[in-house]
């Protein structure tokens, strides 16, 4: 669509066409065209899909433009091509709750529950005891496009942003995973600053933490919950992703997003399947 | 109902009466009567409500009896009395996905997305790097019924189980919170062993971690996601609850549940409002 020309890539790709309901209605429908550029291993990246769901929610409740929580159940893999997004407001308030689902060809792919608000209205109180990840300077960290070619081919996603891995936990790139189950990286979009909606994408942008455990391969997300805690400052984001409990064929993956002002702006946790050996 | 006589208290209180749909249908309705004994501060405990939603899901998909993930958005406080629970299966599979909502008097209280399976079918692989909380022996830990009387009056919930707090982070009982934002405790039901469904209740059984930050009071849950990772062994459970990011009037609260065999059997995270000063 012409009006999206000149927009940053993420914003252009989050384009939605209203197909049902009118502005102000509690139930809306939108058509989307999932771009193959956000693929990983044949499916569309779960973080991009979260941001797309978030965009549909924002279009439904524009007076509450920012995600506070988004909890998604991945029912099936989404692929490049047409999709439908349906929203349903559950409650209006300072915190507005919205159910949102994404389908393709009539088959449900993701069902999610969102809580949106206006993050600029929150109190200024900050009492964070967590520490941002200690990362070497950006220029000392290899970029994600240095990942093995077979990974880049499977994941055109990595061309959508600049992710620079802490060398201390990037040994998996050269087949030497640390075994600690932790990834740390700098992150930025090439053509835009971060905002609360974009953090939904960033929350699932890193490779599976199982890469650092010597278990490369696709780790399908079962469930992913993101809490967006503040409007991020401009500049590089710092990401830390780790797991503490690989068991029964599943693992939890916690992702923290810190902004350039040293603020913990998002916390995400997913349950995913351990890649098959 | 007579058939519930002699059951443990939790199981008796999770009683549901089918009111719509038949066994095997993808959409079911149930009537419940929320018991005041599970109240905290005038509302019904969020963990008990999760277990009730889980029970409705189990009744809907009995071939997948165990919760794997349950992600709930708390739209409004639930109170003692009649309630309606509606389930809708989103997908059948090894992992079965179900949407479930609880209403009272036609007003939505909780909307949730569940993933259920049969946890006894999971692989035996365990590679947990997390450590169970170091707790003094049970008999050295004060029981929750030692909490201040004004707390017990507000929270009849604490009479439903035996929770024994690690004295090192129970100073808030005597008005001397540690300020670390951490609670640790032993937990058991008086009349039953833990099982996967009961872990949903346990995941929100502790007082808000803000008690340990000198911010007592009700901390309303906005969103709560529980991952149940294994069938718990019989015996005492160990709980650790902590926060790392109190900001903007909200805090995240992570709760780990470890069983008597030293296994991390559930991981929960909620976003809650900081109690008003």
Check if the beta carbon of residue A225 is closer than 8 Å to that of residue A254: no
Q: How many CB pairs under 8 A join A and B?
A: 169
Query: What is the distance, to the nearest Å, from the Cα of residue A120 to the centroid of all Cα atoms in its chain?
Result: 21
CA distance B94 to chain A (A): 12
Helix (H) or strand (E) segment spanning residue A53: helix A46-60
Mean pLDDT in chain A?
A: 94
ipTM over 0.90: yes
Contacts of A248 in chain B (CB under 8 A): 119, 122-126, 229-230
Record the tokens describing residue A159, joined without a space: 């061309």
A191: CB partners within 8 A, 6+ apart? A8, A9
Contacts of B250 in chain A (CB under 8 A): 68, 122, 229
User: Other C-beta atoms within 10 Å of A154: how many?
Assistant: 17
Alpha helices in chain B, H assignment, sequence order: 9-13, 46-60, 149-154, 196-202
Check if the beta carbon of residue B260 is closer than 8 Å to that of residue B199: no
CA distance A13 to chain B (A): 27
With b for 16 or more beta-carbon neighbours within 10 A and e for fewer, the A230-252 pattern comes to bbbeeebbbbbbbbbbbbbebbb
Check if the beta carbon of residue A71 is closer than 8 Å to that of residue A57: no
The CATH code of the domain at B2-118 is 3.10.129.10
pLDDT at position B172 is 86
A81: CB partners within 8 A, 6+ apart? A33, A34, A104
B274: CB partners within 8 A, 6+ apart? A125, B210, B215, B219, B246, B249, B250, B251
pLDDT at position B65 is 98
Closest residue on chain B to A114 (Cα): B73
CA–CA dist A236, A187 (Å, integer)? 6
Check if the beta carbon of residue B214 is closer than 8 Å to that of residue B179: yes
CA distances from A272 to A153, A210, A269, B69 (A): 22, 10, 10, 11
Residue A130 to residue B73, Cβ atoms within 8 A:
no
CA distance A214 to chain B (A): 13
pLDDT at position A1 is 46
Residue B115 to residue A250, Cβ atoms within 8 A:
no
Check if the beta carbon of residue A70 is closer than 8 Å to that of residue A200: yes
Pick from B114, B222, B248: CB nearest A69 = B222
* Greatest pairwise CA separation for chain A in angstroms: 54
Give the lowest-confidence range in A104-113, A238-247, B141-150, B165-174: B141-150
Choose the mutation target among B120, B127, B180, B199 for the interface with A, i.e. most A CBs under 10 Å: B127
User: What is the arithmetic mean of pLDDT over A138-164?
Assistant: 84
CA–CA dist B165, A237 (Å, integer)? 38
Coil, helix or strand at residue B150? helix
Pick from A69, A91, A245: CB nearest B128 = A245
C-alpha triplet B95, B101, B107: angle, nearest 5°: 170
CA distance B33 to chain A (A): 23
Coil, helix or strand at residue A109? strand
CA–CA dist A170, B66 (Å, integer)? 37
pLDDT-derived band at A257 (thresholds 50, 70, 90) equals very high
Closest residue on chain A to B231 (Cα): A248
Check if the beta carbon of residue A60 is closer than 8 Å to that of residue A101: no
Contacts of B128 in chain A (CB under 8 A): 244-247
% pLDDT > 70, chain A: 97
User: What is the arithmetic mean of pLDDT over A171-178?
Assistant: 88
CA–CA dist B18, B32 (Å, integer)? 9
Closest residue on chain A to B213 (Cα): A127
CA distance B64 to chain A (A): 16
- DSSP string across A59-108: HH-TTS-EEEEEEEEE-S---SEEEEEEEEEEE-SSSEEEEEEEEETTEE
CA–CA dist A172, A210 (Å, integer)? 10
Helix (H) or strand (E) segment spanning residue A154: helix A149-154
DSSP state of B217: S
User: Domain B138-273, what architecture?
Assistant: Beta Barrel (2.40)
Helix, strand, coil percent values for chain B (each to nearest 5)? 25, 40, 40
pLDDT at position B3 is 58
Contacts of B247 in chain A (CB under 8 A): 122, 125-128, 229-230, 263-264
CA–CA dist A235, B251 (Å, integer)? 25
Q: Give B88: exposed, middle or buried? Use CB within 10 Å, 0-12, 13-18, 19+.
A: middle
Helix (H) or strand (E) segment spanning residue A10: helix A9-13
Contacts of B249 in chain A (CB under 8 A): 122-123, 125
As a dihedral over the C-alpha atoms of residue A17, residue A23, residue A25, residue A30, rounded to 10 degrees, the angle is 0
CA–CA dist A271, B114 (Å, integer)? 12
The domain locations on chain B are 2-118, 138-273
pLDDT tens for chain B, residues 1 to 277: 445 668 999 999 999 999 999 999 999 999 999 999 999 888 999 999 999 999 999 999 999 999 999 999 999 999 999 999 999 999 999 999 999 999 999 999 999 999 999 999 998 899 999 999 999 999 999 887 666 777 777 788 988 999 999 999 888 888 899 999 999 999 999 999 999 999 999 999 999 999 999 998 889 999 999 999 999 999 999 999 999 999 999 999 999 999 999 999 999 999 999 998 6
Pick from B69, B90, B247: CB nearest A223 = B69
pLDDT at position A258 is 98
Strand-pair partners of B88: B27, B99
Predicted confidence (pLDDT) at residue A83 exceeds the cutoff of 60: yes
CA–CA dist A11, A245 (Å, integer)? 35
pLDDT at position B2 is 47
Residue A245 to residue B222, Cβ atoms within 8 A:
no
DSSP state of A274: P
Closest by Cα among B42, B122, B274, B17 to A273: B122
Check if the beta carbon of residue A125 is closer than 8 Å to that of residue B247: yes
Record the tokens describing residue B234, joined without a space: 């019989």
């Amino acid at each position: 669509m012409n009006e999206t020309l000149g927009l940053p890539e993420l914003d252009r790709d989050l384009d939605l066409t209203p197909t049902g309901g009118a502005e102000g209605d509690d139930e809306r429908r939108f058509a989307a065209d999932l771009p193959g550029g956000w693929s990983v291993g044949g499916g569309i990246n779960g973080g991009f899909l979260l941001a797309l769901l978030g965009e549909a929610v924002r279009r439904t409740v524009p007076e509450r433009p920012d995600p506070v929580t988004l909890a998604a159940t991945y029912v099936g893999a989404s692929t490049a091509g047409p999709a439908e997004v349906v929203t349903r407001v559950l409650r209006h308030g300072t915190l507005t709750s919205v159910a949102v689902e994404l389908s393709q060809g009539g088959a449900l792919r993701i069902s999610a529950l969102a809580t949106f608000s206006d993050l600029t209205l929150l109190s200024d109180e900050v009492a964070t005891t967590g520490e941002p990840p200690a990362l070497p300077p950006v220029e000392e960290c290899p970029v994600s496009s240095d990942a093995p070619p077979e990974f880049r081919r499977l994941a055109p996603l990595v061309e959508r942003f600049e992710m620079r891995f802490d060398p201390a936990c990037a040994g998996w790139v050269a087949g030497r995973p640390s075994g600690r189950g932790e990834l740390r990286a700098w992150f930025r979009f090439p053509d835009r600053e971060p905002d609360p909606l974009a953090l939904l994408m960033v929350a699932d942008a890193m490779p599976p933490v199982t890469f650092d455990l010597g278990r490369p391969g696709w780790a399908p997300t079962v469930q992913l919950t993101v809490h967006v805690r503040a409007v991020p400052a401009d500049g590089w984001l710092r990401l830390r992703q780790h797991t503490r409990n690989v068991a029964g064929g599943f693992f939890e993956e916690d992702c923290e997003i810190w902004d350039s002002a040293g603020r913990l702006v998002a916390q995400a946790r997913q349950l995913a399947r351990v890649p098959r050996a």
